[in-house]
Structure 1
């Protein structure tokens, strides 16, 4: 009897240990297009997670950025994709959810750490499901050569009037090109031009949502005026800016030949590495002193769970950690310029990144207006904004005509604008 009892206890102990191992031990693979931050995942993020969850092993397995969508879709269709899927914002990820490839994560505990604006890029149109945990956004503004500003006795501008006074003073001095931006690649005219300064005119989310509902049109004054502003930039962009590519603009600035760079915060790490002068940043100037300010704080990257993963419990544990304050701080400081979307306070170590993110304290955040819903048809509104912004910048199209082109294109397929 005693022997039978001991055997039963031993069997129960072994079974319990096996059950625990089965519950804890899992291997997760992350699919991503961000192959440039492989070492950060390997050396900082994954070790921090595994230290707290020793039964879960994580592998970061990125694809080439230009091949990611095709590679990921092929793997998902074949049932060979990783457990965790890095999510591009809006329609690309929404399509994956609608096809059943991503799981609704709305009930994840740490999803409560994100605002509706932060989650919008990875939620259904009606907000009933959120299928990726927000990881980071990029903020738009202007990066400047602080040494040049000091040399010329210039302070960062706060209003439009001050902005043009600064550009004029730099131009008159002649030492520097006032601002580095080209029109050749088009996207930067829309991204760092029109939708950088535009939120101060259409009042951020108020205008963006009104465009989606059809209450506002792209030919309304608040949408035309920022096109008019970037048309005024041409005299300050240097000779030949019309044929200047994005890398050319970067080089002009980092080599110290231009004083200001209309920027996305992703430039921070690049400019810190390449520029041998002190850097500063200022937000898009408001129209008049005392006006409420708005910034393009654009959702850039999230992460979700493969609906067919065999490690759902471990994957949810990892995703909940991604929603934590620990991950927010680690990620934002490992990749300065990619800012946490969490409501948790994140102390930034890089001074330029700290400047960018400080604008959230006084300005209202919004996302690029063409990215949710409004670029699903033909013509694609975001691509049209590239074209129109570049044309207006180089003087090939009047702002009013450009706005009409945008509105006519959108109304051609989007019912609320008809």
Structure 2
């Protein structure tokens, strides 16, 4: 009897221990679930706007503002890449692997790669469903990026109006004014050179940004045909007199009217040459204006010596940025929703306002008001806006119209063009081959 009682007691103790462990296990699982739900949803984002980039300060402030607003709910894991080239190359590799970050800048053909690999999300229904977001993005930016079948794979966060800046003291000393024609432009370059000044801040590395702005302007102001070409997205051919004539002028500029470091230089080199008054002109947009008062970058008082102009033949780059792509088509619902919130913030009112005030990027609509204080402090931006209203020709730049393979070809072939390895006609053919190569991929 005692033996039976001992067995029963032992069994009860064992069962009690089993139930206790099970209860503990249940509580542990429940606790883990609660922690999991309380953890912020993590999304990924990569940026090239770091370091000395003109928009680095604005980018940081936007990211900080988002993190503060969504603290504990959404965490943005940011990968910083040191240059445009590094960014584009890394994103191309990730696109090939179907592993792009949740939100990317779609520049240089990256948007198309995200569409092709199935990661890009059509955000048109999302924009249409959010009246507040739609208000600050605006019809212009939406129509600019909308595909023929009505889909929207990218959202801009700024409007671009791009002319060129010039050093008023150098112009006055030389006895010239901003050129009204391209013939006068080339003559001004020669006069500046004879007066001991280097006319142009150019560069052929990365996306050949400042050089290709001049090239786009030379084509885009060459009558209706040239203007149509520079407003055509992804042309199949560059084998035409418009491009060849412009490349011939650019060849002369790179040979005779720019700095020795222009061949292979990146944007930072070209910008520094203008900011340090080593050159008389740079093709660039209003985001450069804050640099003119930054004595860590520019010579003291430079802002008072800078003027802004349309391109010869009364032309101006007038476009929207390609903007940001939501690459969450294959992600969980939580990640999709979190990345969408980030996209909305990155392209919304607060971010547009920060980019205006920190880097001179023009907002997408009048709903983001440019304050009187900003206008008073940034007369060059106001001058450029007013000049743009008077322009005869508006056109896009090469970054927006050309395939990424074509942009790469510019960087590869400009040195050959300068050193006599190829002619302008041959370079135009190479650009066409690059465009066709992209089509075949």
1:330 to 316, 338, 354: 354
How many residues get paired? Answer: 375
Question: Relative to structure 2, which stretch is displaced further, 176-185 or 276-285?
Answer: 176-185
Shift of the alpha carbon at 1:351? 3.7
1:227 aligns to 2:244 (yes or no) = no
1:275 aligns to 2:293 (yes or no) = no
- When the two structures are superposed, what TM-score results if normalisation uses the length of structure 2? 0.66
Shift of the alpha carbon at 1:105? 0.9
What's the RMSD between the two structures over aligned residues?
4.5
SS of the counterpart of 2:157?
strand
Shift of the alpha carbon at 1:130? 1.5
Q: Is the 8 A contact 1:195 1:296 kept in 2?
A: no
Question: Counterparts of 2:323 and 2:159 in 1: how far apart (Å)?
Answer: 7
The residue that corresponds to 1:399 in the other structure is 424
Q: How does 1:86-97 map to 2 (within 5 A)?
A: 86-89=104-107, 91-97=109-115
Shift of the alpha carbon at 1:26? 6.3
The residue that corresponds to 1:99 in the other structure is 117
The residue that corresponds to 2:48 in the other structure is 34
Higher helix share: 2
From the superposition, tell whether residues 152 and 413 of structure 1 become closer, same or farther in structure 2 (CA, over 3 Å): closer
The residue that corresponds to 2:20 in the other structure is none
From the superposition, tell whether residues 394 and 192 of structure 1 become closer, same or farther in structure 2 (CA, over 3 Å): farther
1:201 to 199, 215, 222: 222
From the superposition, tell whether residues 257 and 29 of structure 1 become closer, same or farther in structure 2 (CA, over 3 Å): same
> 5+ residue gaps in structure 1?
1-22
SS of the counterpart of 2:156?
strand
Shift of the alpha carbon at 1:259? 1.5
Q: Is the 8 A contact 1:132 1:303 kept in 2?
A: yes
The residue that corresponds to 1:218 in the other structure is 238
The residue that corresponds to 2:9 in the other structure is none
From the superposition, tell whether residues 158 and 55 of structure 1 become closer, same or farther in structure 2 (CA, over 3 Å): farther
The residue that corresponds to 2:370 in the other structure is 347
Shift of the alpha carbon at 1:121? 8.3
The residue that corresponds to 2:163 in the other structure is 141
Bigger Cα Rg = 2
> 5+ residue gaps in structure 2?
1-36
1:237 aligns to 2:257 (yes or no) = yes
Shift of the alpha carbon at 1:361? 2.9
Question: Counterparts of 2:179 and 2:42 in 1: how far apart (Å)?
Answer: 48
- When the two structures are superposed, what TM-score results if normalisation uses the length of structure 1? 0.69
Q: Is the 8 A contact 1:325 1:342 kept in 2?
A: no
Q: Is the 8 A contact 2:207 2:407 kept in 1?
A: no
1:361 to 389, 394, 415: 389
Question: Counterparts of 2:430 and 2:422 in 1: how far apart (Å)?
Answer: 10
From the superposition, tell whether residues 106 and 360 of structure 1 become closer, same or farther in structure 2 (CA, over 3 Å): farther
Q: Is the 8 A contact 1:265 1:353 kept in 2?
A: yes
SS of the counterpart of 1:134?
coil
Q: Is the 8 A contact 1:189 1:386 kept in 2?
A: no
1:180 to 201, 219, 242: 201
